[in-house]
Amino acid sequence: MKTQKLLLLIFFLNTTYLIFSQPYKNPNINIEKRINDLLSRMTLKEKIGQMQQYNFWKLDDATLKKVTEGKVGSFLNASNKKDKIKLQKAAIEKSRLGIPLIFGRDVIHGYKTILPIPLGEAATWNPELVKKGAEIAAQEATENNINWTFAPMIDIARDPRWGRIAESCGEDPFLAGTIGAAMIKGFQGNNLNDNSTIAACAKHYVGYGAAEGGRDYNTTLIPERELRNVYLKTFQTAVNSGVATLMSAFNDLNGVPASGNKFTLKKILRNEWNFNGFVVSDWEAISEMIKHGFAKDGNEAAFKAVDAGVNMEMVSENYANYLEKLINSHKVNGRWIDTLVAGILRIKFKLGLFDTPINSKPVSEFLPAQNKQIAKSIATESIVMLQNKNNTLPLKVSEINSLAVIGPLANSPKAQMGTWTLDGNPKDVITPLNAIKSEYGKKLKIYYSKAMESPRSTNKKLFKKAIQTAKKSDAVLLFLGEDEELSGETHCRAFLNLPGAQENLIIKLSKLNKPLILIIMAGRPLTFGNITNKVNSILYAWHPGTMGGEAISDIIFGKTSPSGKLPVTFPRTVGQIPLYYNHKNTGRPPSPNQLGRVLGTPVNPKGYASYYLDVDYTPAYYFGYGESYSSFNYSDLTLSKKIIDFNDTLKVSVIVKNTGKYKAKETIQLYIRDLYASVTRPVKELKRFKKAEFIPGETKTIHFKLTVDDFKFYDINMKYNAEPGDFVLFVGSSANDKDLLKSNFTLTKY
């Protein structure tokens, strides 16, 4: 017993000595002091080691040797928990200074419990619900010692051909910024030191969503004013929300690759926004600057990336190979390296990795019931009803005896999860077919036909069985769209129609004159205007994740009313792209009656306007659009003042009434238009929204507040100002003028 006490005393004294002799190990000391102390002890090689992130291939002696020598700051995709523990122990117990590793993973829309794709999450217009989704993703990921996610992706996405629109939060800076901030808060919580939170990474900084032609990794040309007024806004919101890290993008932005762009990374991010976290490059993006023609070789690529302010290099090894030489030759300032390394250490300290680096608790085998319920709620609110002729939906069990469930996506767990689901298990997925059978199998005869081998199949050999299945049923549910391989990184499409023989299947089934409900699962907006008259109802379910089947079933049978609203404009045809609601006006805007009509001549250009001869200038579905089983009436739009100055708060109210028969949620949207300014302004800009639930007959007064900050933009002199002038304010259910009430006000300086 005396020996044990003596050993404990010795351990305590040793620990105390280490804490006081090495302040960076003392959790009671201010983080900045801990960083400075640690930096003062680090060799140049150790500093460069912190700036290197490797993809984990396998746990071998060579990998462990790099860790113990202090040559690794982070791993991404480290496999199982056992390997992570071995790697972390090597870092903290065998490296000279015991600096812990940070483990990154693409936890994009859920970890094991898969949520709808981010574009679907944005369709909820419910930040609080999205936050809860990120919270459960963080909880599940931290169980496996993951402490950093490469999300949210908050690129403004105006081109549905781009495969990565699935990962985005849509086309609008305010909505995408709000949803992205909710994800950040969910991932990071109130304190990164909590054992159930992870560091978020806002990506891809910046302009990646504007790639030419919707082709991944492609050139982006964005004037500075447009960059600041649109594409940078979501990232500024993320920084203001406390995001721990950012990821520099693959793209060339106005001739300068994003991972070597001093203007965006140093001038704006650090000097203007005072960001003090760290920036990681995208996968080998620093090396790719050579292919861009921006760097001659790895040495120059390393210099340009570090000079711009990329703290950590992902996968490629230009920093590891060339930074020491660049610093010793005084081409790179050693103090700047200290600043970049401090950014990395700061996040590691905030995560508590120096104090409790290892979680040894076993990983849960089953999905928690609470997590599944949250995933279901998000999926339910993400589903957008685009059409409901003759109130075909919801289906009433009392009015039908049989139901046909048809289509390759009715029972496809992997497709239902969507892109970027590295850790989701298809066995956990509840498909629509299984959800409907489970809930209604004893009340209805349910017939199933796959109809197509895959969503991309052009073979019609299974059509006959599908038609027979539909013939013996009272109503038909048709599940079509894209599988998971048709969206995501590099999965860009030149055409956006329903793939394979899907349209042909719809046409054949429509001839049976059965109630035909089309449920589309997809990672992007699709074009399907030529078949909308063939079906009664259309539900857009995105890729809805683990609990998508139950969510779809509940909406189809009226357990809940659809409440999703589009976070992105749906074009009628690819030829309209780019098409987005917050566009600029022209000197000759189109009129509703101009389709196919040339009203004038070059001598007398009456009616010459900005439109196509062969397609309506309007979208198929407007930003913010989404139908409900109920109906809502907007009235009495009231502004507190018609003339406000820069110090005023404009109070806005509108009365909304549920005039239908169903309990339902409605998203009330507020837009403004600056009628004239030193530079042209968009025809509408979303500034506020609120989602509220109404029982039948209920009336609510919805309130909003706007201040001068809501009217600011980068003006003719590239200054961020509001300008006096006249404005239109809109409130309603979508960005379509027909769905909006309008009022005018004037902003004066004094």
Q: Are residues 399 and 514 in the same domain?
A: yes
Question: What values do phi and psi take at 287, rounded to 5?
Answer: -65, -35
The Cα–Cα gap between 502 and 520 comes to 11
My answer on whether 550 and 693 are in the same domain is no
- Do residues 408 and 480 make contact, with C-beta atoms less than 8 angstroms apart? yes
Residue 5 has pLDDT above 70, yes or no: no
For residues 548 and 539, give the distance between their C-alpha atoms in angstroms, rounded to a whole number. 12
Q: What is the DSSP letter of 583?
A: P
CA gap 495, 485 in Å, rounded: 15
556 has pLDDT over 70: yes
Whole-number Cα distances in Å, 698 to 394, 673, 692: 21, 30, 11
Predicted confidence band of residue 4 (pLDDT cuts 50, 70, 90): low
Give yes or no: residues 401 and 486 share one domain: yes
Residue 495, domain CATH: 3.40.50.1700
Whether residue 674 lies inside any domain: the answer is: yes
**Which residue type sits at 112?**
K
Torsion of Cα atoms, 569 then 570 then 571 then 574, to 10°: 110
pTM metric for this prediction: 0.96
DSSP string, 232-283: THHHHHHHHTT-SEEEE-SSEETTEEGGG-HIIIIIIIIIIT---SEEEE-T
Tokens matching residue 561: 């009313």
Clarify whether residues 398 and 516 are in a common domain: yes
547 and 636 assigned to the same domain: no
Question: Quick check: 192 and 356 in contact, CB under 8 A?
Answer: no
Does 486 lie in the same domain as 386? yes
Range of the domain at 645: 632-748
- Encode pLDDT of 51-74 as tens digits: 999 999 999 999 999 999 999 999
Q: What confidence score (pLDDT) does residue 8 get?
A: 53
Whether residue 355 lies in the annotated active site: no
Q: In what order do the strands lie in the sheet with 475-481?
A: 384-388, 537-540, 516-521, 475-481, 402-406, 445-449
Phi/psi at 532 (5° precision): -65, -30
d(CA 510, CA 534): 6
What does residue 290 show for φ and ψ, rounded to 5 degrees?
A: -70, -45
In a domain, 187, yes or no: no
Confidence bin at 16 (pLDDT 50/70/90): low
Among candidate residues 556, 586, 606, the one where a domain is terminated: 556
- Is the domain of 445 the same as that of 535? yes
For residue 525, pLDDT over 60 is answered with yes
Report how far Cα 276 is from the mean position of its chain's Cα atoms.
23
Q: Give Cβ neighbours of residue 215 (< 8 Å, ≥ 6 apart).
A: 161, 162, 492
Tens of pLDDT along 166-190?
Answer: 999 999 999 999 999 999 999 999 9
Residue 354 forms part of a structural domain: no
Shared-domain flag, residues 539 and 447: yes
Considering only 6-15, 70-79, 429-438, which range has the smallest mean pLDDT? 6-15
Q: Would you call the peptide bond into 118 cis, given omega within 30 degrees of 0 as the criterion?
A: no
In a domain, 311, yes or no: no
Q: How confident is the model over 731-750, as a mean pLDDT?
A: 97
Whether 528 is in a domain gets the answer: yes
The active-site residue, picked from 282, 483, 554, 674, is 282
- If pLDDT is split at 50, 70 and 90, which confidence band does 362 have? confident
**Nearest residue to 307 via CA among 283, 285, 345, 333:** 333
Distances (CA, A) of 590 to 596, 621, 674, 705, 729: 12, 18, 20, 33, 22
* Last residue in a domain, options 533, 556, 579: 556
380 and 529 assigned to the same domain: yes
Mean pLDDT taken over the chain: 96
Report the residue count for the chain.
Answer: 750
Tokens of 526: 């699709």
* Among 104, 112, 90, residue whose Cα is nearest residue 55: 104
CA–CA distance, 180 with 725 (Å, rounded to integer): 32
**Is 88 inside a domain boundary?**
no
Nearest to 421 by CA among 117, 103, 170, 75: 117
Q: What is the CB neighbour count within 10 angstroms for residue 744?
A: 12
Within a domain: residue 348? no
- Tens digits of per-residue pLDDT, 532-553? 999 999 999 999 999 999 999 9
Residue 694's DSSP bridge partners are 664
Quick one: average pLDDT of 329-350?
A: 98
* Mean pLDDT (whole number) for 403-409: 98
pLDDT value, residue 750: 79
The letter for the amino acid at 13 is L
What's the rounded mean pLDDT across residues 608-626?
A: 93
Q: CATH number, domain at 713?
A: 2.60.40.10
Q: How much is the pLDDT for 13?
A: 45
Assigned domain for 702 exists: yes
- Same-domain pairing of 430 and 520: yes
Could you give the number of structural domains in the chain? Answer: 3
Q: Which of 532, 556, 580 is the last residue of a domain?
A: 556
